[in-house]
Amino acid sequence: MDGEAPRLSVVVPVFNEEDVLPLFAERMRPVLDGLRVPYEVITVDDGSRDATPVVLELMCRRWPQLRVVRLRRNSGHQNALTAGLHRAQGEYVVSIDVDLQDPPETIGEMLRLAESANLDVVHGVRTDRSSDSRFKRWTADVYYRLIRRLVGRTVPHNAGDFRLLSRTAVDALTAMPEHLPVYRLLVPWLDLPSGEVAYTREQRAAGHSKYPIAKMIRLALDSVVGFSAAPLRVATWLGLIGMVLCAVLAGAGGAAYLSGNVVPGWTSLIVAVLFLGALQLLCLGLLGEYVARIFTSLQGRPSYVVAFDSADDRRPSEDALCSL
């Protein structure tokens, strides 16, 4: 960039992606060079355990606009995004995954739309997900329907973490004290002027997905618990329903006792006990999720720890603690 402040920053979370990184650079660099604006690419290595750091170092030597931020430990995809957003200097910031399922060629369209319509947010919306498995498409559809019902219709359907943000949007996000951010919900919550760019989701270029079913469930749980008190209300209603059911059973038992039609048995008793026990455990689990988030927030630990930033003059061994 030759000292010129970047107009565009591209934030790319990376975790164990040694196979796809060369393909990513080969496809991304011509796209960004063709925009003819000063830019930077910030790759956030989220504690990779393969040869990803070595590949990034080699790429950094050949690509002057590439910046490598390495986290000391694996902090998760959303926290890696946070690290990149905190370090991005561009007037516009694009977040994109390295697997090339989101086409880099769409970035130019996003930038032109943001500039022409004076938008702070441009969402990349997947209109065609035929490259995903049927199970993946079904779970994604359930997730977005649930989130839109709980959080509101401002959440775009089938919009992940491929988006463009203005400096205004980035500053608003980085100022939030979120310890477990879910940006696909946080960004619409800002209610800034926004638009959408449709694209076809492609096959992963190389390697394998870093979002197994367990992480998908965790993301869904963080989304629901972090943005809605509905689960607590559900627990309350389940408790009320349980109380009504117990009252009905108690009345039926009392009537049977008065009529002398009492038959010794354990079936009804064990069913009632199991039902109430499961209900209590469910409610305690829901309450525990909220308490755990409060506990994590009160601990005040950083969301991520930066071990190295290629844009800094300090040595790689020095740490910088950063949190929202």
Instruction: Decide if 183 is inside a domain.
Output: yes
Tokens read off for 90: 């561009």
263 and 125 fall within a common domain? no
Contact between 92 and 165 (Cβ < 8 Å):
yes
109 and 251 fall within a common domain? no
271 and 312 fall within a common domain? no
185 and 316 fall within a common domain? yes
87 and 186 fall within a common domain? yes
- Mean per-residue pLDDT of the chain: 82
Q: Which residue has the tokens 């060369």?
A: 22
Instruction: Decide if 210 is inside a domain.
Output: yes
257 and 165 fall within a common domain? no
276 and 317 fall within a common domain? no
What's the pLDDT at 169? 95
CA angle 15–316–104, rounded 5-degree value? 35
172 and 69 fall within a common domain? yes
Instruction: Decide if 159 is inside a domain.
Output: yes
What's the pLDDT at 268? 65
Share of the chain above pLDDT 70, in %: 78
Q: What is the mean pLDDT of residues 140-166?
A: 81
Q: What is the mean pLDDT of residues 276-295?
A: 72
Radius of gyration of the chain (CA): 25
CB contact set of 126 (below 8 Å; sequence gap of 6+): 158, 159, 160, 198, 199, 200, 201
pLDDT over 70 (residue 271):
no
211 and 287 fall within a common domain? no
Q: What distance in Å separates the CA atoms of residue 317 and residue 145, rounded to the nearest whole number?
A: 45
pLDDT over 90 (residue 147):
no
Domain span at residue 45?
8-227+302-322
Picking from 15-19, 258-262, 282-286, which range would have the lowest pLDDT averaged per residue? 258-262
87 and 132 fall within a common domain? yes
Q: Per mean pLDDT, which of 86-95, 214-223, 228-237 is the most reliable?
A: 86-95
Q: What is the H or E stretch that residue 68 is in?
A: strand 66-71
Instruction: Decide if 1 is inside a domain.
Output: no
Query: Judging by DSSP bridges, how do beta strands 8-14 and 39-45 pair with one another?
Result: parallel
pLDDT over 60 (residue 266):
no
What's the pLDDT at 324? 37
Which one is predicted more confidently, 80 or 247? 80
pLDDT over 60 (residue 58):
yes
Instruction: Decide if 3 is inside a domain.
Output: no
Instruction: Decide if 16 is inside a domain.
Output: yes
Q: Which of 62, 82, 279 is nearest to 180 (CA)?
A: 82
253 and 275 fall within a common domain? yes
166 and 273 fall within a common domain? no
Structural domain count of the chain:
2
Q: What distance in Å separates the CA atoms of residue 187 and residue 141, rounded to the nearest whole number?
A: 19
Question: What CATH number does the domain containing 25 carry?
Answer: 3.90.550.10
